[in-house]
Amino acid sequence: MKLHIIQMILGDGPSALGFNTMAPAYDVALKTASKKYPNIFGNVSVTRVFIPGVFSTCDFSTGEIIPLLYRLLPDIRRKEFPVILSPDCITEVMVMADFAREVKIPLIASTATDPGAATGRYPTLLTWAAAPFRNIVDAVVQLCRRFSWTEFNLYCDDSAEQSPMPEVLCALILAVMRTNAVAVSVISRHFDSSSTVGGGTLRPALSAGKKHSVINVFASAPSAYPSVLADASALSMATGEYVFVLLPSSPNEQHRYIDWFNITNPAVTSMFPFAFALDFLRINWLAVSNEVAEMRSISFDKYNWTIRKDRDRNVQRLAAYESALMMAEVVKESWSGLSNMTAESFVRAFYGKRFQLPSGVVKISPTGLRVCNMEIKQFRVKNRSLEVVLLFEQEPARLTPINGSAILWQGPSFPPPSRPACRDVSGSYCSQTTDNTYTVLIIGMSAFACLVGFAVAARFIFRMRRRVIADKNWWILQGYLGLPRRQRAMSCRDLLGRVNPRAHKSLFTLGQNDSLSAPSDFLDSTITPRRVLNSSIFFWNNTPSSE
């Protein structure tokens, strides 16, 4: 039995996950494995499938991989045990995973983050991101639940220097928040952290976000956040009414590596008490310094690309290196029976395992996910430190308070309600000091509008009723007799004789036994009139009145 390693990587050049920056990680890992297990990895076959090009989004590159997958079929059907290694986006990995399921090949994705991709539909897939974005999303969900936040603004960095990481993170947040299980209202707004034209693009987005929520979540690189906080300060948001949650969406940076407390701009430092920063657990970069240096050398010598010194600490490249090392461990343990193993049984051999790697201990969950907990930190200006106040645990997904480290809030009580304190008639945000004024104004205007509407409706109805009574011909019966068919209804003025005084005299001089000759079209020859008070109509009976 011979092991066949297939590397599939899309993109090159400045692509964050391109083959000239990610392939060196696999090369160093396989070199390490061949030294450690020469009988297995000394004669391994490797197929490298690299697709050149710079793709602005993960969706654009997904279609490129489909034709290449089927070109692999002749190599896959050789009498070897194949394993696919890929550091690509989850959208690309999902296409690969469908293919891997059908041809029965294990697929180890070192950057895929969606736990839903690891079960059910994809039984031969392992997702092992060292900084899984899904864990960031779950941490945000737990923050909303813990503090009863029902809405927040999501600000996504469209800078070309950050893409595609913020794009992937924002898309995942929106997808999760729109499910019925979460029920949190999210409005995404976009800005470009590298743009300074016209004062930048973030301030208009922040101004618009005030109308929706006081909770502001940002997806960008940690190095971009000082300017983000400065823009928020310029909009008078350092009041304690607003909360800022800074997410790490860069493979090269963590908040702990930013020199926050040497920033002298007061606009930035004034925002520190109201900001939370999320970080993954610390990586022992010193323990892998030699491997990192070798990756940089291979990238330059073999792939004609220079990895910048400030991007040595790339957690995704480290994850690719570690995924190949973990694969080597399981292959060694299963070597004697590898020829009889299916792709699914090989994948299940990783479930629940614990690996001691140079950078630290890596745990694989019972469902095949790499366990990566997160720290929620708050800026401590007095101590000049980022202090961990909550710990997000992946298994199970929950937030755990840190003993002796409470959230300190300079402003109204924490947590603030996620909805703005008030909104004026046009929907704009108003501060708490104007709550009563706006409330009284809105109530007064509403009451006045109701009164005016009622008065207009009443006058309209009155006029319509008078028009109906005045213009209609009536036949009103009591017993067998009634008014003539063509008799126009008489008004009070008519009845009082102001139009016809003789009628007034004759009508009111009739006695109990007097009779009145009716018109020829009446149904009876003799009738007695009855006067109905407060009415414009007379009724006749064919019997004498008892009054």
> Tens digits of per-residue pLDDT, 402-432?
877 888 898 788 999 898 876 544 445 454 4
Average pLDDT of the segment spanning 471-494 = 46
| Cβ-Cβ contacts under 8 Å for 331 (sequence gap 6 or more) | 3, 37, 40, 83, 338
The whole-angstrom separation of Cα 17 and Cα 28 is: 17
For residues 193 and 18, give the distance between their C-alpha atoms in angstroms, rounded to a whole number.
Answer: 23
Other C-beta atoms lying within 10 Å of the C-beta of residue 36: 13
Burial 173-202 (b: 16+ CB within 10 A, else e): beebbeeeeeebbbebbbbbbeeeeeebbb
Which CATH number is 133-282+373-420 given? 3.40.50.2300
- In the chain, what percentage of residues exceed pLDDT 90? 37
209 contacts 216 by C-beta, under 8 angstroms: yes
Is the pLDDT at 354 greater than 60? The verdict is yes
- 191, amino acid identity: F
CA dist 529 and 541 (Å) reads 7
Q: What is the CA radius of gyration of the chain?
A: 40
Q: Give the list of residues 6+ apart from residue 221 with CB closer than 8 angstroms, or none.
A: 157, 161, 162, 165, 193, 248, 249, 250, 252, 253
* CA gap 314, 21 in Å, rounded: 10
Q: Which residues contact 66 (CB under 8 A, 6 or more apart)?
A: 95
Q: Using CA atoms, how far apart are residues 212 and 489, in angstroms rounded to an integer? A: 62
pLDDT band of 513, cuts 50, 70, 90? very low
Among residues 278, 228, 235, which one has the least CA distance to residue 255?
Answer: 278
What would the CATH number be for the domain defined by 3-130+285-363?
3.40.50.2300
CA distance 297 to 110: 21
Distance CA 485, CA 228 (A): 84
Which range (59-63, 93-97, 152-156, 494-498) has the least confidence?
Answer: 494-498
∠ CA 478-481-486 to the nearest 5 degrees? 110
pLDDT of 484: 45
Q: How big, in percent rounded to 5, are the helix, strand and coil portions of the chain?
A: 40, 20, 40
Rounded Cα distance, 63 and 321, in Å: 26
Question: For all residues of the chain together, what is the average pLDDT?
Answer: 79
Q: Report the share of the chain in percent with pLDDT over 70.
A: 77
How far is residue 341 from each of residues 30, 83, 106, 451, 486, measured CA to CA in Å?
Answer: 22, 12, 11, 81, 104
Q: pLDDT at residue 481 above 60?
A: no
The answer to whether the beta carbons of residues 19 and 9 sit under 8 Å apart is: yes
Cα 64 from Cα 432, distance rounded (Å): 53
CB 388 within 8 A of CB 375: yes
Element (H, E) at 357: strand 354-357
More confident site: 44 or 468:
44
Domain ranges of the chain: 3-130+285-363, 133-282+373-420, 434-471, 477-541
CB 280 within 8 A of CB 256: no
Residues 6+ apart with CB under 8 A from 224: 157, 159, 162, 193
Mean predicted confidence (pLDDT) in 303-324: 90
| pLDDT at site 216 | 96
SS3 assignment, position 22: helix
pLDDT (0 to 100) of residue 251 = 79
Q: Tell how far CA 142 is from the center of its chain.
A: 14
Confidence class for position 495, pLDDT limits 50, 70, 90: very low
Are 3-130+285-363 and 133-282+373-420 the same fold in CATH? yes
Task: Say what the pLDDT of residue 34 is.
Answer: 94
- Write the single-letter amino acid at 173: I
Could you tell me which residues are beta bridge partners of residue 185? 151
Q: Distance between CA 174 and CA 154 in Å, rounded?
A: 9
Residue type, 401: P
Q: How would you write 365-426 as a 3-class SS string?
A: CCCCCECCCEEEEEEECCCCEEEEEEEEECCCCEEEECCCCCCCCCCCCCCCCCCCCEECCC
Q: What is the pLDDT of residue 179?
A: 76
- Contact status, residue 116 vs residue 139, Cβ threshold 8 Å: no
The secondary structure of residue 519, as a DSSP letter, is P
Residue 242 is classified by DSSP as: -
Among 196-200, 393-397, 503-507, the minimum mean pLDDT is found in: 503-507
CA distances from 261 to 257, 274, 381, 463 (A): 11, 15, 8, 76
